[in-house]
Chain A
Amino acid sequence: MGTFILRRLILSIPVLLGILFLTFALTRLLPGDPCRAALQEKATEEACNAFNQRYGLDRPITVQFKIYLQDFVQGDLGTSIKYNYSVMRLIVERLPTTLELSIMAMFFAVAVGIPLGLLSAYYHNSSIDIGTMVIANIGVSMPVFWLGLMLAYFFAVVLKGTPFVLPPSGSQSPGMQIQPFYEAWGLNIEPARSSVWAFISNMTITNAALAGDWAGFKDGFRHMILPMVALGTIPMSIIARMTRSSLLEVLGQNYVKTARAKGAYERNVVLNHAFRNAMLPVVTIIGLSLGSLLSGALLTETIFGLAGVGSALYDAINGRDYTVVQAFTVIIAVIFVIINLLVDVLYVFLDPRIRLN
Chain B
Amino acid sequence: MSENLLTIQDLKVYFDVKGGLLKRTVAHVKAVDGVNLEIKKGEILGLVGESGCGKTTVGRAILRLLEPTSGAVYFNGNDILNLHRSQLKPLRHDMQIVFQDPFSSLDPRSRIGEIIAEGLRVHGVKDADERRQRVLETLKLVGMNETHMRRFPHEFSGGQRQRIGIARALVLNPSFIVLDEPVSALDVSIQSQVLNLLKDLQKALNLTMLFIAHDMSVVEHVCDRVAVMYLGKVVEISSREELFRNPQHPYTQALMSAIPIPNPKIKRERIILQGDVPSPLNPPKACRFHTRCREAIAMCSEVDPILEDLGNHHFCSCHLRQPTN
Question: Chain B interface mostly helix, strand, loop or mixed?
Answer: loop
The closest CB in chain A to the CB of B20 belongs to A3
Report B124 CB to chain A, min CB distance, Å.
47
Question: Within 8 Å CB of A6, what residues of B?
Answer: 21
The closest CB in chain B to the CB of A6 belongs to B21
The closest CB in chain A to the CB of B23 belongs to A7
Interface residue? A10 (CB, 8 A):
yes
Report B286 CB to chain A, min CB distance, Å.
32
Question: Within 8 Å CB of A3, what residues of B?
Answer: 21
Task: State the interface size on chain B (CB cutoff 8 A).
Answer: 1
CB contact list, B17-35 vs A, under 8 A: 21
Give the CA-CA distance A7 to B22 in the complex, in Å.
8
Report A2 CB to chain B, min CB distance, Å.
11
Give the CA-CA distance A7 to B21 in the complex, in Å.
6
Give the CA-CA distance A134 to B21 in the complex, in Å.
46
Report B269 CB to chain A, min CB distance, Å.
37
Report A6 CB to chain B, min CB distance, Å.
7
The closest CB in chain A to the CB of B19 belongs to A3
CB contact list, A1-49 vs B, under 8 A: 3, 6-7, 10
Give the CA-CA distance A10 to B20 in the complex, in Å.
12
Give the CA-CA distance A347 to B21 in the complex, in Å.
19
Report A7 CB to chain B, min CB distance, Å.
6
Report A5 CB to chain B, min CB distance, Å.
11
Report B75 CB to chain A, min CB distance, Å.
41
CB contact list, B197-211 vs A, under 8 A: none
Give the CA-CA distance A3 to B20 in the complex, in Å.
8
Give the CA-CA distance A3 to B21 in the complex, in Å.
7
Report B24 CB to chain A, min CB distance, Å.
13
Question: Within 8 Å CB of B21, what residues of A?
Answer: 3, 6-7, 10
The closest CB in chain A to the CB of B21 belongs to A7
Question: Within 8 Å CB of A7, what residues of B?
Answer: 21
Report A12 CB to chain B, min CB distance, Å.
13
Give the CA-CA distance A10 to B21 in the complex, in Å.
8
Give the CA-CA distance A161 to B222 in the complex, in Å.
90
Report A135 CB to chain B, min CB distance, Å.
36
Report A14 CB to chain B, min CB distance, Å.
12
Report B147 CB to chain A, min CB distance, Å.
37
Digit string of B292-324 for contact with A (CB within 8 Å is 1, else 0)? Answer: 000000000000000000000000000000000
Digit string of A230-252 for contact with B (CB within 8 Å is 1, else 0)? Answer: 00000000000000000000000
Give the CA-CA distance A6 to B21 in the complex, in Å.
8
Question: Within 8 Å CB of A10, what residues of B?
Answer: 21
Give the CA-CA distance A24 to B193 in the complex, in Å.
68
The closest CB in chain B to the CB of A3 belongs to B21
Report B222 CB to chain A, min CB distance, Å.
37
Give the CA-CA distance A3 to B19 in the complex, in Å.
11
Report A91 CB to chain B, min CB distance, Å.
33
The closest CB in chain B to the CB of A7 belongs to B21
Digit string of B3-44 for contact with A (CB within 8 Å is 1, else 0)? Answer: 000000000000000000100000000000000000000000
Give the CA-CA distance A145 to B308 in the complex, in Å.
81
The closest CB in chain B to the CB of A11 belongs to B21
Digit string of A40-62 for contact with B (CB within 8 Å is 1, else 0)? Answer: 00000000000000000000000
Report B21 CB to chain A, min CB distance, Å.
6
Report A341 CB to chain B, min CB distance, Å.
16
Report A8 CB to chain B, min CB distance, Å.
10
The closest CB in chain A to the CB of B22 belongs to A10
Give the CA-CA distance A104 to B21 in the complex, in Å.
38
Give the CA-CA distance A7 to B18 in the complex, in Å.
14
Give the CA-CA distance A3 to B23 in the complex, in Å.
12
Give the CA-CA distance A282 to B21 in the complex, in Å.
29
Report A13 CB to chain B, min CB distance, Å.
12
Give the CA-CA distance A149 to B21 in the complex, in Å.
49
Report B281 CB to chain A, min CB distance, Å.
15
Give the CA-CA distance A46 to B259 in the complex, in Å.
93
CB contact list, B28-64 vs A, under 8 A: none
Report A102 CB to chain B, min CB distance, Å.
33
Give the CA-CA distance A96 to B163 in the complex, in Å.
69
Give the CA-CA distance A264 to B21 in the complex, in Å.
46
The closest CB in chain B to the CB of A10 belongs to B21
Report B241 CB to chain A, min CB distance, Å.
46
Point out residues on B near A: beta carbons under 8 Å: 21
Interchain Cβ contacts under 8 Å between A and B, 4 examples: A3-B21, A6-B21, A7-B21, A10-B21
Point out residues on A near B: beta carbons under 8 Å: 3, 6-7, 10
The 3 closest A-B pairs by CB, nearest first: A7-B21, A10-B21, A6-B21
